[in-house]
């Protein structure tokens, strides 16, 4: 098993988490989504983990760059020893994410993803700013 | 769970989200251990149902698509199969991923669910919405299994983060 797991999210969500100190599974949205892969670029994280955009991605018609509509801006680095392995499920590699109308692949997927079915105290952990396009 | 959307009233979005969630619960009960449900919350709720067929993964994605003039539920059929080019305990160089073409997904796997232009004002019976979503998911998973995997994508792969030996 990896020594560290990573939770990718936006700055706003990170601030809410830090105010509370805990990352918590969000009800019927399932558990916490983690990866054992560390990406330094926000685009790469969103692409490999196929983190869905909210609404149509901007700029897909005009340029190669797809701007994220759901910001993936920071990553929380969680030591594996902080997780209860009984609550950690490997959910395979992320599938591709397509534009719902054109069918064009927006995010390639392929990143390893885990679902963690419990809360994790992260108030004392490092959050890393990702490079954004 | 509270859902929200920039265009649709919160009570409608929440009720639609609940109807879709109930349809997915029915899927899990109908096909125990056979289907997996991935739930996402990034503003709008999004769900992905997967069913494995050997190394191939068939998928149906459900999402609420909205705009200034209204919205609809869309179900998209998709599939992929991965071949790992090189992997051991320490490194994976890349994954070769086969997928259907965008044209096939768009023409054969696209299932918009509309409940009429007045549905945002005169809400449909929710059991009808649940039933429609459930039936469409079954159809989408069947279509996903039939989509030919004609496109190859090479995905560079990061190494799981380990510190031993560093």
* B86 within a domain of the structure (yes/no): no
* B4 within a domain of the structure (yes/no): no
Residue B4 pLDDT class (50, 70, 90 cuts): low
Mean pLDDT of B35-55: 77
Q: Chain B interface, mutation test: which of A89, A96, A97, most B Cβ atoms within 10 Å?
A: A96
Nearest-CB residue to B76 (from A29, A33, A100):
A100
Q: Strand, helix or coil at A112? A: strand
With tokens 């998973």, the residue in question is B141
Nearest-CB residue to B46 (from A4, A37, A52):
A52
Q: pLDDT digits over B73-119, tens only?
A: 889 999 999 987 766 555 666 889 999 999 999 999 998 876 554 56
Task: Report how far residue A110's alpha carbon sits from residue B84's, in angstroms, rounded to the nearest whole number.
Answer: 10
* B124 within a domain of the structure (yes/no): yes
Q: Which residues of B52-80 are buried (b: 16+ CB within 10 A; e: fewer)?
A: eeeebbbbbbbbbbbeeeebbbbbbbbbb
Task: Report how far residue B2's alpha carbon sits from residue A49's, in angstroms, rounded to the nearest whole number.
Answer: 24
- Give the residue on B whose Cα is nearest the Cα of A52: B42
* B84 within a domain of the structure (yes/no): no
pLDDT given at position B166: 40
| Nearest by Cα to B97 from B76, B113, B82 | B82
Give, in order, the Cα–Cα distances in Å from B137 to each of A76, A121, B62, B125.
34, 37, 8, 19
Quote the minimal CA–CA distance from A20 to chain B in Å: 19
- Give the residue on B whose Cα is nearest the Cα of A5: B161
pLDDT given at position A55: 43
Higher pLDDT, A2 or A121: A121
- Contacts with B104 from chain A: Cβ below 8 Å: 103
* B159 within a domain of the structure (yes/no): no
* B141 within a domain of the structure (yes/no): yes
- Give the residue on B whose Cα is nearest the Cα of A96: B80
Under a CB-based contact definition with an 8 Å cutoff, are residues B38 and A30 in contact? yes
pLDDT given at position A64: 35
Residue A87 pLDDT class (50, 70, 90 cuts): very high
In total, how many domains does chain B have? 1
* B107 within a domain of the structure (yes/no): yes
- Which of the residue ranges A97-101, B56-60, B120-124 has the most confident prediction, judged by mean pLDDT? B56-60
Quote the minimal CA–CA distance from B125 to chain A in Å: 22
- Contacts with A54 from chain B: Cβ below 8 Å: 42-44
* B122 within a domain of the structure (yes/no): yes
- Cross-chain Cβ contact A112/B43 below 8 Å: no
- Which of the residue ranges A48-62, A72-86, A90-104, B118-132 has the most confident prediction, judged by mean pLDDT? A72-86
Q: Count Cβ atoms below 10 Å from residue B3 Cβ, excluding itself.
A: 22
Strands A32-34 and A120-121: unpaired
- Cross-chain Cβ contact A3/B40 below 8 Å: no
- Cross-chain Cβ contact B155/A48 below 8 Å: yes
Task: Report how far residue A76's alpha carbon sits from residue A122's, in angstroms, rounded to the nearest whole number.
Answer: 8
- Give the residue on A whose Cα is nearest the Cα of B108: A103
- Cross-chain Cβ contact B110/A91 below 8 Å: no
- Which of the residue ranges B17-21, B44-48, B57-61 has the most confident prediction, judged by mean pLDDT? B57-61
- Cross-chain Cβ contact B158/A93 below 8 Å: no
**CB-based burial label for A90 (10 Å; 0-12, 13-18, 19+):** exposed
User: Model pTM?
Assistant: 0.81
CA A106 to mean position of chain CA atoms:
16
Q: Which of A42-51, A76-85, B39-48 has the lowest mean pLDDT?
A: B39-48
Q: pLDDT digits over A9-51, tens only?
A: 888 888 888 888 998 876 555 678 899 988 888 888 888 888 7
Q: Strand, helix or coil at A48? A: helix
pLDDT given at position B45: 62
Q: Which domain holds residue B33?
A: 10-79+103-147
pLDDT given at position B108: 94
Quote the minimal CA–CA distance from A102 to chain B in Å: 6
- Contacts with B161 from chain A: Cβ below 8 Å: 2-4, 6, 36-38
Predicted-complex ipTM score: 0.77
3-class SS string, chain B = CCCCCCCCCHHHHHHHHHHHHHHHHHHHHHCCCCEEEEEEEECEEEEEEEEEECCEEEEEEEEEEEECCEEEEEEEEEEEEEEECCECCCCECEEEEEECCHHHHHHHCEEEECCCCCCCCCCCCHHHHHHHHHHHHHHHHHHHHHCCCCEEEEEECCCCCCCCCC
Task: Report how far residue B134's alpha carbon sits from residue B156's, in angstroms, rounded to the nearest whole number.
Answer: 36
Mean pLDDT of B120-134: 78
Quote the minimal CA–CA distance from B39 to chain A in Å: 5
Under a CB-based contact definition with an 8 Å cutoff, are residues A57 and A99 in contact? yes
Residue B38 in this model has a pLDDT that exceeds 90: no
Nearest-CB residue to B42 (from A51, A93, A102):
A51
- Contacts with B157 from chain A: Cβ below 8 Å: 110
């Amino acid at each position: 098993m990896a020594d560290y797991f990573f939770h990718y999210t936006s700055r706003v969500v990170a601030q809410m988490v830090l105010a509370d100190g805990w990352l918590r599974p969000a009800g019927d949205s399932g558990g916490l989504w983690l990866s054992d892969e560390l990406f330094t670029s926000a685009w790469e994280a969103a692409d490999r983990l196929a983190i869905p955009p909210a609404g149509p991605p901007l700029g897909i018609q005009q340029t190669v760059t797809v701007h994220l509509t759901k910001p993936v801006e920071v990553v929380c680095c969680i030591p594996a020893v902080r997780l209860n392995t009984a609550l950690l499920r490997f959910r395979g590699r992320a599938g591709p994410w397509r534009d719902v109308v054109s069918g064009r692949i927006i995010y390639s997927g392929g990143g390893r993803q885990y679902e963690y079915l419990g809360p994790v105290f992260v108030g004392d952990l490092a959050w890393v700013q990702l490079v954004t396009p | 769970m509270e859902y929200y959307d920039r265009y649709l009233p919160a009570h409608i979005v929440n009720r639609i989200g609940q109807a879709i969630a109930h349809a997915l619960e029915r899927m899990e009960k109908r096909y125990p251990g056979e289907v997996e449900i991935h739930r996402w919350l990034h503003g709008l709720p999004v769900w992905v149902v997967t069913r494995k067929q050997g190394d191939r993964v068939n998928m149906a994605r459900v999402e609420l698509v909205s705009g200034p003039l209204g919205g609809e539920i869309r179900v998209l059929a998709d599939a992929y199969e991965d071949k790992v080019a090189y992997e051991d305990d320490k490194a994976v160089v890349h994954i070769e991923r086969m997928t259907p073409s965008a044209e096939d997904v768009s023409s054969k796997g696209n299932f918009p669910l509309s409940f009429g232009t007045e549905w945002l004002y005169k809400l449909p019976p929710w059991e009808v919405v649940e039933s429609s979503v459930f039936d469409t998911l079954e159809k989408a998973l069947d279509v996903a299994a039939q989509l030919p995997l004609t496109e190859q994508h090479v995905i560079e792969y990061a190494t799981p983060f380990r510190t031993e030996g560093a």
